[in-house]
A and B are shown apart, each in its own frame.
Chain A
């Protein structure tokens, strides 16, 4: 190797024009048309849940008209239920409860799942063994039954229902987090961080976790949908907070009249169906956008 000639301005290696990963991810998302439709629907539902009760201030618990008034007649867009309550007001208010429970339960299960998965994947050895056996224990529990037991024991309040759903659905997150940690902990930049003296906590949550997020985000999006379904299932069985309206509860309380006034069950059912479908489509789009392995499809 000879002396490199001195140049006035060092010719830097040309800077490759690379697009920001976020822009690239959005493009991949936008390419999935179903996901974009899902996102629009989801935004509309969210706006409805947030602002609906102000724009349509009818109390969902008020008996406003005769029972079983069909949709579109007597001035009630979606009709009235078996107690003469305005179904539209119930759906709007129920959207709040369903979305909040869906989100909160997802947050609970992500919190548990990420913590357990991260510890297992980072420390390996007996920590991993113990935590994964623990996870498997929760995986094989009949989820609906277990959450019913929790709610029945500790009371049917919103926080307890949320917690019950979260506790039975974190296992998938834990497994995904663990597998991502197992992969990422061997990468060079983790070694480089170690070599610069980073502590374990920092390695886990500041170095590895942000890089493990994409599949966790996808899973969480899908989990919001399944949490909404789960809540509907619980309230259909009557395990619900009597002080709030939720979609599952509307179905549950009207189920005896399914033959006489099918719309009282169909309409909240459709609301659940559309919402969960929209969330699933968005989750699928996120998967396209964030999962590099599927990029070259």
Chain B
């Protein structure tokens, strides 16, 4: 196959709010290769989840819409695809796991029924075959005693186990893309590590591309090949993970990386203060402006940042950053 698996070009998503129409995603472009792990990083409200929902065709009805740009999946345009076609793709070729494993499973059905349902809907498997497959999948996501637990209800499982069930459900039809929207935010640290291990191993086995949405720089460093730093609905920086961590080209990325706490060997009374990126993400009403939206929080601000929106600037190593002073960062 040629070309990227997923190609998003100049995507603009508008939300209709009480204050008018705001672009929550503004001119975002990126590509996802076969078998690649791409991470979205950024603070809450930067449009990471919106991007994911747009790819799935699940923008909140009547509120959000794709205003411009294109999303091409395997050569097929998704923004203009029919509803039945999108339904076919969802869960089958692109699937998604959510942030809250405690509430993402339907409480009235057993986990086996829920996994089997996806298989029956998309693959046309018989009841029996789908059930057997569900057991296999539970085994694949390392639920111990899968055969005995397939008939359990979600309330009988812990958070980590439920997230595994969600992963099993998402991978049931061997999708080409798995979107994981902060899959570990609600879990314990130890369980987080297990889930990431699982996702990495599954990717190795199945070749599924993963879009990982997260706050966790550590997870990005461990999981992803490339990352996109989002800020206020715009791409701030795109590039290979190791290079970005090595030398960020956008002050925001730099700030995010320095926010990650390091465990030091000696605990003294004078521990290093955690650094932070001062200020907050601007409100939706600010989103459309022709300026650098990060300017108000940026230590390197110059006059130009307030007057013109910086375009994406290419670097030789494949990194791209939207900053007027990217070379100096």
Contact = CB atoms under 8 A, between A and B. Distances in A.
B105 A192 contact: yes
B58 A189 contact: no
A211 B108 contact: yes
A196 B91 contact: yes
Given A1-B193, A15-B158, A196 B103 contact: no
Contacts of A183: none
A192 B88 contact: no
- From A13, A18, A198, A202, residue with most partner B Cβ within 10 Å: A13
A196 B161 contact: no
B87 interface: yes
A169 B106 CA distance: 31
Interface stretch (B72-80, B93-101, B311-319): B93-101
B222 A1 contact: yes
- From A124, A187, A196, residue with most partner B Cβ within 10 Å: A196
B56 interface: yes
A193 interface: yes
A199 interface: yes
Interface in A1-25: 1, 4, 10, 12-16, 18, 20-21
A9 to B, nearest CB: 8
B30 interface: no
A197 to B, nearest CB: 4
Interface in B268-285: none
B329 interface: no
Contacts of B58: 191, 194-195
Contact of A197 (B121, B156, B218, B221): B121
A196 B105 contact: no
Contacts of B222: 1
Give the secondary structure class of A's interface: loop
A13 B56 contact: no
B159 A13 contact: yes
Contacts of A142: none
Contacts of B118: 196-197
B158 A16 contact: yes
Given A10-B144, A18-B156, A197 B88 contact: yes
Contacts of B105: 189, 192
B7 interface: no
Contact of B166 (A20, A192, A202): A192
B219 A1 contact: yes
A211 B157 CA distance: 19
B158 to A, nearest CB: 4
Interface string A88-114: 000000000000000000000000000
Contact of A195 (B90, B100, B161, B188): B90
Contacts of A18: 155-156
A189 B96 CA distance: 12
B173 to A, nearest CB: 9
A210 interface: yes
Contacts of B169: 192, 196
Contact of B95 (A16, A188, A196, A210): A196
A197 B122 contact: yes
A125 interface: yes
Nearest to A195: B96
A207 interface: yes
B106 A125 contact: no
Interface string B103-131: 11111110000000010011000000000
B303 to A, nearest CB: 41
B90 A199 contact: no
Nearest to B219: A1
A193 B113 CA distance: 13
Nearest to A16: B158
A120 to B, nearest CB: 15
A195 B109 CA distance: 17
Contact of B194 (A4, A187, A189): A4
Contacts of B196: 1
Given A197-B91, A210-B108, A13 B218 contact: no
B121 A15 contact: no
B104 A192 contact: yes
A95 to B, nearest CB: 34
B191 interface: yes
Contact of A12 (B108, B144, B156): B144
A196 to B, nearest CB: 3
B216 to A, nearest CB: 8
B137 to A, nearest CB: 13
Contact of A196 (B90, B142, B144, B221): B90
Interface of A: 1, 4, 10, 12-16, 18, 20-21, 124-125, 187-189, 191-199, 202, 207, 210-211
Q: Which 7 A-B pairs have the closest CB atoms?
A: A196-B91, A197-B91, A197-B90, A13-B158, A195-B96, A210-B108, A1-B218
Interface of B: 56, 58, 62, 87-92, 95-96, 98-100, 103-109, 118, 121-122, 142, 144, 153, 155-161, 166, 169-170, 188, 190-191, 193-194, 196-197, 218-219, 221-222
12 contacts: A1-B196, A4-B197, A12-B144, A188-B100, A191-B98, A194-B58, A195-B91, A195-B96, A196-B95, A196-B118, A196-B170, A197-B92
